[in-house]
Structure 1
Amino acid sequence: MGKHILVPVGRFRFDLNDITIEPVQFLYMFANFLFFPTFQALIFNKVCLQTHDADFCSELQNNETFKENHTSENHDITAETSHWILKTNIALTAPSFFMVTLFLGPLGDKIGRKIPVLLPCIGALFSFIACLLNAKFMTASLYYLLVGPLVNGFFGGYIAAIMASFSYVGHVSSPESKMMRLGIIEAMSFLSGTIGVFVSGVMLDKQGFIFIFATLIVVISLAIIYTIVWVENIRSHIQDAENVGCSAFLVKFFKDSFSCVVRQRESRVFSSLVLLVISINMVMLCTTGDMDIALLYLKENLNFSQTLFGYFKGLDNFLRGITLITVLPLVKRFTSIRDLPLVLVGFISFAVNFVVLGVASTQWMVFLAAVLGMLKGVPSAGIRAMMSSMVSQDEQGRLFGIVAASESIITLIASVLFNELYPATVHIFPGLCYMLGAGLILLMFLLILYLHCTLPSDMPQMSYQTVVEDPQLQISDSDIPSSLTAEA
């Protein structure tokens, strides 16, 4: 909004104009965290109803004695559910990759940042409507489960929403406020995740699928309305001099994104940047694999109800979020510890979390794993900060564009790996997937340790500067206000 709206808070005055897409991020992430376990449970129910009646499926989920007496049927249904989770992930991830790499970034650069923020919300709305219809007609074909993820994928999906949020905040933030404002965006994800997964089990047990999907439709509709009414369509003052066609422009953006990673750089920046990109993708692989199998693993082996699973994931998200919001800033402020040692500590916490989950024989051990893994969010934050410091201001979007695209591929690989491995090894050792994840994390620990030992402590970092928008380049009153600055 062009006009400042000041709200007195004690001795301070808070400008509502400083609120941009933070509410969108909160609502979108809350909806997704509430959606994911609910969608997995919906798939389980629909798979069960393909071969059994409603009474059998209800008893299988709510009666532990009945479940123990039908172990074989439960395993078959769980395995088929895992395969359908994989199919829905493919339907979401494949189009998301092309959306992020070829369309979303160029669209934001050409016509403004508002549309890329809006599109993933619209895709999520169609996805929730499709799931509501699937819940209404439970005995319909399982292939209808693919409709929502496909539509959501063509609108960019989860990764596009994250990329659009960071691009928007990075555009309107000064160098001095960038870390704080990006931290607030991260905090929105943690807070919404804590609430979303915490209430998902309770809502599903008490209200059912249709109520949850209707709630999701309302939540994401609020995000869409807020974006349309409040969010500014900010644009960069740097425009392409060459007027090329749409296809040529998309090809150019695709090439520029990859050239950002592979271009030659001074010192050991290039090799370090590549290793960091590999590391962040391995973090995504383990995180996605955990999300895919956690509900099935805990229900089948430790008798977790949907409500108890929600409590566990809520605690897990809360501890990870509170660590990044409070502990990490305090450590950075009062110590001189560099980023890479903190990443190493985070990897140790991540690996211990997976090992305890893999060997857990009681429910309390699962909650202990959440406490021991409270630092597992540090590696992602630290690695992204290191990558960002190694490239110039005008390469930030291209770098995180290619990182987002690679993460979408890794998400698909993780779904294939964990959803195929878990059903195949559950009779041998149910926690084998978590042991595999711990092994990958330890490999990344060794890789980061190598970087910590070989990178010079005085390695040069890119400088940043704020370029004030030329008033003559302001597009309209609906564009970025003159009081804000845009990044070069």
Structure 2
Amino acid sequence: MALLPNLWVDKICLVQLDYGEETCASLQEGKEPAKQDAVQKMSAQMSLYFQILLFVPAIFANLLLGAWGDTRGRRAPVLAPVVGSLFMALVLMANCYWWSLPPALLLLAALPAGCTGSMMAVFSGCHAYVGAVAGRRARTLRLSVLGVAMMVCNPVGRAVALLIYDGYGYVAALGCQVGMYVVSIVYILLRLKKWPSGARAPGERESRSVCSVLSPSSLKETLRTACKKREGGVHWDVLGHIVVICLSISTLAANVLFGYLYTRKKFAWDYNTYTVWSVIDLPLSSLGVLICQPILNYYWRVEDSILALAGGISHLFYYTLVATAPRPMTSSRGALSKLVGREEQGSIFAVTGAAEALLPVVASLCLTPLYDATLDVFPGAVYGVCAALSLCVCVVLV
């Protein structure tokens, strides 16, 4: 996925529009703005279609995997989306190997990953796994470490992909990704337990059949986990933190969708420069989560909602001033895990994962026309919207 924005640009410019290698290379230097805008707009549209195919099926897949995790074991919800991502990487690699294939065929790669929950299901499954085995006091800390690991691995993956891509091209880089997915699958099968210690489902739910778990009534029960009334009005806190995570995901989706296209248009960055920026930006963004959050939450017992509010405020400055800031999502996940019981960890994170799968599609549908309309006037308009969403996060938490 790290090379996908650049792959869209190259395939559309070289194959679909047939501008030629010399012309496509000159577009990165800011020459021929009309052709550059044509490539940008078509890349944004293809990215939108890819997001829809990837995340719409993932909404239902996340709910199914959440119900499965609470009743039949917590390993499968982590394993299934990794297998789907493996097939996605194989389709992308095949399209790059046969370079003359039209870029529209890249859209087929989204289907296996989407139908198994996409990476949102990996995050939800991992959070549910950790949330079920961790004690209440250490839960936010462990979820924070998990979130930081995901954030740090992103730029590491980008850097590795860039090195392989520079030396050997798309096929080798995607082949390396396939190999990593295979290693991940083997690790999950060997190391992750179906029911980790302290996370076994109650006996009456464990005996449910596969058809019962995957039935519409089971999906309804999973959705109801986030909405059912709880003592002390806790259900409002649950819904509030889900809203916070959704708003944060919307800003993240906008950055993923338009980050490379924006810097290419605004600063004439190539993929190498953008990757270097990502390698620096994401680790710095995680410092607050890695250093401050464990001290404030684990030792000083600062409430998760206050930490999430601090993340929302810093996110507001990030998108307003293009600065570096911690993300507010980790504290909200920690708070969610404490507001429900161990037997509901899979369901609550499944609902969150389904919402996270829906939000990139909504963000794509709303922000792609905005990006196209403001491309020549103010290409950073999408980041203004992200700043406004971060302000909404602060309002919800207050």
User: With structure 2 as the length reference, what TM-score do the two structures score?
Assistant: 0.91
1:239 aligns with 2:203: yes
Instruction: Give the structure 2 partner of residue 74 of structure 1.
Output: 36
Give the CA deviation at 1:387: 2.7
Letter in 2 for 1:52: D
Give the CA deviation at 1:131: 0.6
Give the CA deviation at 1:351: 1.3
Matches within 5 A, 1:142-291: 142-175=103-136, 177-234=138-195, 236-240=200-204, 246=211, 249-291=214-256
Deviates more, 1:169-178 or 1:392-401: 169-178
Instruction: Give the structure 1 partner of residue 348 of structure 2.
Output: 399
Match of residue 396, structure 2, among 447, 466, 473: 447
1:50 aligns with 2:30: no
Match of residue 412, structure 1, among 349, 361, 366: 361
- Structure 1 CA distance, aligned partners of 2:342 and 2:128? 12
SS in 1 for 2:229: coil
Matches within 5 A, 1:86-101: 86-101=48-63
1:374 aligns with 2:357: no
Instruction: Give the structure 2 partner of residue 25 of structure 1.
Output: none
- Structure 2 CA distance, aligned partners of 1:216 and 1:311? 19
Answer yes or no: is the 8 Å Cα contact 2:143–2:330 preserved in 1.
no
Answer yes or no: is the 8 Å Cα contact 1:344–1:448 preserved in 2.
yes
RMSD, aligned CA: 2.3
Instruction: Give the structure 2 partner of residue 304 of structure 1.
Output: 269
Answer yes or no: is the 8 Å Cα contact 2:320–2:387 preserved in 1.
yes
Letter in 1 for 2:262: Y
Q: Percent identity?
A: 21
Answer yes or no: is the 8 Å Cα contact 1:293–1:418 preserved in 2.
no
Give the CA deviation at 1:128: 0.8
Distance of aligned partners of 1:205 and 1:162 in 2 relative to their CA distance in 1, 3 Å threshold:
same
Instruction: Give the structure 2 partner of residue 360 of structure 1.
Output: none
Answer yes or no: is the 8 Å Cα contact 2:81–2:119 preserved in 1.
yes
SS in 2 for 1:271: helix
Answer yes or no: is the 8 Å Cα contact 2:82–2:185 preserved in 1.
yes
Ranked by relative contact order (alpha carbons within 8 Å, sequence separation 6 or more), the top structure is 2
Letter in 2 for 1:341: I
Give the CA deviation at 1:411: 1.6
> 1:72-124 CA distances to partner (integer Å, 9 max, x unpaired)?
000011100000001111111011111111x2123334442222222112111
Answer yes or no: is the 8 Å Cα contact 2:143–2:334 preserved in 1.
no
Give the CA deviation at 1:157: 1.0
Distance of aligned partners of 1:231 and 1:271 in 2 relative to their CA distance in 1, 3 Å threshold:
closer
- Structure 1 CA distance, aligned partners of 2:41 and 2:249? 23
| Larger helix fraction of residues | 2
Give the CA deviation at 1:44: 1.0
Instruction: Give the structure 2 partner of residue 433 of structure 1.
Output: 382
Match of residue 257, structure 2, among 282, 288, 292: 292
Instruction: Give the structure 1 partner of residue 280 of structure 2.
Output: 315
- Structure 2 CA distance, aligned partners of 1:333 and 1:185? 15
User: With structure 1 as the length reference, what TM-score do the two structures score?
Assistant: 0.75
Instruction: Give the structure 2 partner of residue 59 of structure 1.
Output: 25
- Structure 2 CA distance, aligned partners of 1:392 and 1:107? 16
Give the CA deviation at 1:270: 3.0
Match of residue 371, structure 2, among 410, 422, 432: 422
- Structure 1 CA distance, aligned partners of 2:335 and 2:364? 27
Answer yes or no: is the 8 Å Cα contact 2:66–2:222 preserved in 1.
no
Answer yes or no: is the 8 Å Cα contact 2:67–2:218 preserved in 1.
yes
- Structure 2 CA distance, aligned partners of 1:74 and 1:244? 55
Aligned residues: 393
Answer yes or no: is the 8 Å Cα contact 1:292–1:418 preserved in 2.
no
Letter in 2 for 1:355: T
SS in 2 for 1:240: helix
Give the CA deviation at 1:247: 5.7
Gaps of 5+ in 2: none
Distance of aligned partners of 1:306 and 1:391 in 2 relative to their CA distance in 1, 3 Å threshold:
same
Distance of aligned partners of 1:225 and 1:269 in 2 relative to their CA distance in 1, 3 Å threshold:
closer
Gaps of 5+ in 1: 1-34, 358-368, 450-488
Matches within 5 A, 1:29-40: 35-36=1-2, 38-40=3-5
